[in-house]
Amino acid sequence: MSAGFSQSLALNGVGTLVGWGGPELGAEVPLGLSNVIAIACAEYHSLALKRDGTVVAWGDGSYGQTQVPPDLTNAVAIAAGQTYSLALKADGAVVAWGTWGATAVPSYLANAVAIAAGSDHALALVAEEGQTPQPPELFDTGFTNGAFRMSLQTKRGKSYCFEFSDSLSEGVWTMLPPVPGDGTVKVLTDPGPLSSQRFYRVRQW
């Protein structure tokens, strides 16, 4: 959930939104908006991050805060300030649009892993060299046509793979072919589980 000046948003488990409050202030959710994984409300506008890494903005755009840059892709997080918006990309870059000083992203800012927006200022958490990476976001887990599948949000420059074990007591894990990350959602697949009970884990490096 996210709360703005006079609007509220709730994100449900299937990726759609419910909004209530003043429609002119960002509560009126755009028709057809789906596959949402994150939301953010400011005083007069709202943001939604879609599973494909794109951002949708609506509400009051008087200061350009709803004018999402057309080339913005691979976003993994969003934040909304009073008259500006922020997006964190999978490669650690921060993109800002709207007005006031919070949109002047420092040229030296890199390797960001989280962002936050205040009324007139913004923050970015930067990963230090050697810092333990955040685990990937996993979703859409289940069987499809006999294959076990799982979707995850990848980061550019990282690699991901399934490892499975038929018995946790034996502690023997088998690695399936890795998938290179590029900032988009990827699918990991075990095409033919031979055991009725199989345990999985995801590796990222």
Tens of pLDDT, residue by residue over 93-107, are 999 999 876 888 998
For residues 66 and 15, give the distance between their C-alpha atoms in angstroms, rounded to a whole number. Answer: 20
138-204: CATH topology: Immunoglobulin-like (2.60.40)
Query: Does the pTM of the predicted model rise above 0.85?
Result: no
> Any residues with CB less than 8 A from the CB of 182 and at least 6 apart, and which?
74, 90, 154, 156
Range 2-126 has CATH code 1.20.210.10: no
User: How does pLDDT run across 10-39, given as a tens digit for each residue?
Assistant: 988 788 888 888 765 666 889 899 988 889
Residue 205: what residue type?
W
Q: Apex CA 126: angle with CA 10 and CA 159, to 5°?
A: 80
Helices and strands in the chain: count of H runs, count of E runs: 0, 18
Domain boundaries defined on the chain: 2-126, 138-204
Q: Lowest-pLDDT range, 60-69, 124-133, 149-158?
A: 124-133
